[in-house]
Amino acid sequence: MIRPATVALTMVALVAAPFHAIGQDITVTKLPFRLRHPSAIAIRPGGSPQNYEVYFSDFDYVSKVASDGSSAPVKVIVKLPTQPDQTSGTGLHFLDRNRLVVALHTNPSAANVLLFEFTDDQPLSADQATQKLGLAETGAGESAPPISVYGIARTFANDRVPDQLIATTYGSDAQPGLWKVPVRAGTLDKPAAFGAARQNALPAAIAVSKQGYVLVAQSIENGETNGSRLTFYNPIGGSVVMQLNMNLENVLGLSYSPKTGNLYAANYGPTDSSFTPGATGVYRIDDASEAGKPAARAVKIADVLRPTAMAFAPDGGLYVTAAGNTGARPIDNGFLVRITGDL
């Protein structure tokens, strides 16, 4: 049950600087392969702390890699729709062990939420999706241009909260920033707007707290403050429960530690000339509230250059995808890291 009580916070985000851990109890391990521009990550359910699979999207495909690092990544979905020099899949979520939802950031077609069912080890292509859903402008009908999806998360269903995916999106000012996609018996139902309008902020990273609140990191657009805003939504109707500002620019990943409940954030950093490596990386978000004044403080735990997504594994390790040096050539400077320690 959702109650409008104080929400305990702790969040970590990935920041710049090549693989330097902040603090004595944190270890950052770079996996031995290069990626083009990874943008989403998910852990396949059904594994054990000793043996599980990590799925991630990179440009126009989705790959998997074993937790023990015994083999190179294997492509499981290929030919996702994209545009030149832009990544495609930016949201991954398993409905169950064999059903994977892929949300598309840049998609020239009308469908930007795809459901795939794995039946064997052969890679699937985008046209083999079991379901294809499109998020369109409110009231615009079938002819509306598609909305770019930044991330997806799933609510904790109970007798009051419906089972649904919540997607953060970007489009015109007339479009809602959040959409809900009901989940029914392993399938996706008709999408609808979730909550209020965009509130002068671009939503990107998304997670669901242990208490059931939908947490969204939003980049402020109106100049009232620099950095990102954390907004907590009630999963039942989408009303805003609490908002906190934090001094991070362009948070693309949020994830709660299953062991401590701490919240972590992947901070990609600014995309313009103001970018400095020290601003990007992984952060823990601490509660810095005073009486009647809720506040959050971002504490950097690891240097990771241009992090784009994150997910906790069954063994407590935090996997983070990163774009790396996006201005260098060749462009395949992306990578995947595993962070372990006191998370």
168 DSSP β-pair partners = 151, 178
Which tens digits make up the pLDDT trace of 144-198?
Answer: 555 778 899 999 999 999 999 999 987 666 566 899 999 999 999 999 889 865 5
* pLDDT surpassing 70 at residue 290: yes
Residue 190: CA count within 13 A, CB half-sphere: 2
DSSP labels, 106-170:
S-SSS--EEEEE--SSSPEEGGG-SEEE----TTTGGGSPP-EEEEEEE----SSS--EEEEEEE
* pLDDT surpassing 60 at residue 306: yes
Which tens digits make up the pLDDT trace of 6-48?
Answer: 344 332 222 223 344 555 589 999 999 999 889 999 999 999 9
Return the CATH fold of 12-341: Neuraminidase (2.120.10)
Q: How far apart are the first and last CA of the chain?
A: 27
* pLDDT surpassing 90 at residue 64: yes
* DSSP-derived 3-state class of residue 5: coil
Domains of the chain, by residue range, sit at 12-341
What pLDDT score does 176 carry?
66
Tokens linked to 25:
């109890």
The mean pLDDT of 289-312, rounded to a whole number, is 90
Please state, for a pLDDT cut of 70, what percent of the chain lies above it: 77
Which tens digits make up the pLDDT trace of 193-243?
Answer: 898 655 566 788 999 999 999 999 988 765 555 577 899 999 998 999 988
pTM more than 0.75: yes
Question: How many other C-beta atoms are found inside a 10 Å radius of the C-beta of residue 333?
Answer: 19
The mean pLDDT of 302-312, rounded to a whole number, is 94
